[in-house]
Amino acid sequence: MRSLISRVTVVAALAAGLASCSPKSEAVTADDMTQGNPNAKVVVVEYASASCAHCARWNAEVYPAFKAKYIDTGKVNYVYREIITPPNEVAAAAFLMARCAGKDKYFQVIDSVYRAQEQMFQTGQFREGLLNVAQSAGMTEDQFNACVTDEKALKALNDRVEKYSKEAKIQGTPTFVVNGKKVGDEGGGERTLAQLDEAIAAAAK
């Protein structure tokens, strides 16, 4: 795990003072992890980090109701985009592992990482915590090790993070964008279901 630090790009685009989203950043690509209706009129993009405590809290407290109301009903196309925040090596390893698990298990793995996050932070046993998540998703320890040290996959992750951070002007996580418009202030942060309701209703008109 620690060896990842030297290879993880810290994205400078997270600095303050950046403007609003550019429309091109909201085009859904094959690299994106999505849920819901790909043909929905409303696209909700969440820029989040696997090592972000605010993201974990939103995942636990708001996401279940959001999923039931909008994803499961096909009202939105939900897009999850990866951003790296400290500890950078933990976020990177979690995302690499989730992608290795496959698109059908990606969100299950991210959810498990969020649920394990507090204990990992308290104990400092990041590798052990992530390995437990990997094994619960059906990966062996050898597969986990190969996954989180895959240089090609790490470069692809860094390229995505840099691209989205620059194009969408991400200043904090989580940041929610509905049809190209940020929800709430520019700095990012947890958003309530009511705030997302309002943004989605406006976008659906």
Query: Are 88 and 8 spatial neighbours (Cβ–Cβ below 8 Å)?
Result: yes
The per-residue pLDDT for 15 is 31
The per-residue pLDDT for 185 is 77
pTM: 0.87
Residue type, 135: Q
**Cα 101 from chain centroid?**
15
Helix locations, the chain, DSSP H: 53-61, 63-66, 88-101, 106-123, 126-136, 141-148, 151-167, 193-204
Please tell me the CATH code under which domain 2-10+19-204 is placed.
3.40.30.10
The per-residue pLDDT for 22 is 39
The per-residue pLDDT for 4 is 46
> Distance between CA 34 and CA 29 in Å, rounded?
10
Domain chopping of the chain, boundaries: 2-10+19-204
Q: Compute mean pLDDT per 10 residues along the chain, 205 residues long, and list them.
A: 44 34 62 95 97 97 98 97 96 98 96 97 96 97 97 96 90 94 84 97 95
